[in-house]
Homo-oligomer: A and B are copies of this chain.
Amino acid sequence: MRKDISETTFRVRYAETDQMGIVHHASYVVWLEEGRSSWMRAHGRSYAQFEQEGFVLAVTDLQVRYHKAARYDQAVTVRCWVEKVRSRQLEFGYEIVDAETGERFVSAHTRHVCLNRQGRVVNIPETWQDFLRQPAG
């Protein structure tokens, strides 16, 4: 396992299901975001801090492959890692698995750009680039 992978585990909420009796496919997208938040905290910073400094990470690309459906009350683990850091772009990889059996529900990938408060694309601040790169090193 890559050493920069963070893991966060929680239970599926009832509201996250749909009438198919399984987790709605958009709910996983929210969990990916929670994976990113958790990656930041696991490595010593928080995304809240990033926004307080005047920047946001906007999603530009989202790819999700659905392997197996999660269900209400199951414990799921979101694994998240940094795939690529460039001056203006950032990529995360993910796996969402059954916390008990390890079976994979979803694999996913997101790309982001850094925006300032005026909504313009800017460089990811250097200290944050270092922070994002360091764990894989």
Show the binding face of A for B, using Cβ within 8 Å: 10-11, 13-15, 17-22, 24-26, 29-30, 33-34, 37, 46-48, 51, 56, 58-66, 69, 72-73, 119
Measured between beta carbons, the chain B residues less than 8 angstroms from A61 are 63-66
Measured between beta carbons, the chain B residues less than 8 angstroms from A62 are 25, 62-64, 66
Number of identical protomers:
4
Partner of A11, one of B24, B26, B37: B37
B59 touches A66 (CB 8 A): yes
B33 touches A14 (CB 8 A): yes
CA distance A58 to B105 in the complex (A): 13
B58 touches A66 (CB 8 A): yes
B14 touches A17 (CB 8 A): no
CA distance A91 to B17 in the complex (A): 23
Apart from A15-B30, A26-B26, A62-B63, 20 more pairs, CB < 8 Å? A11-B37, A13-B33, A13-B34, A13-B37, A14-B19, A14-B24, A14-B37, A15-B24, A19-B22, A25-B29, A26-B29, A26-B30, A26-B33, A29-B29, A46-B73, A48-B73, A58-B66, A60-B66, A61-B65, A69-B119
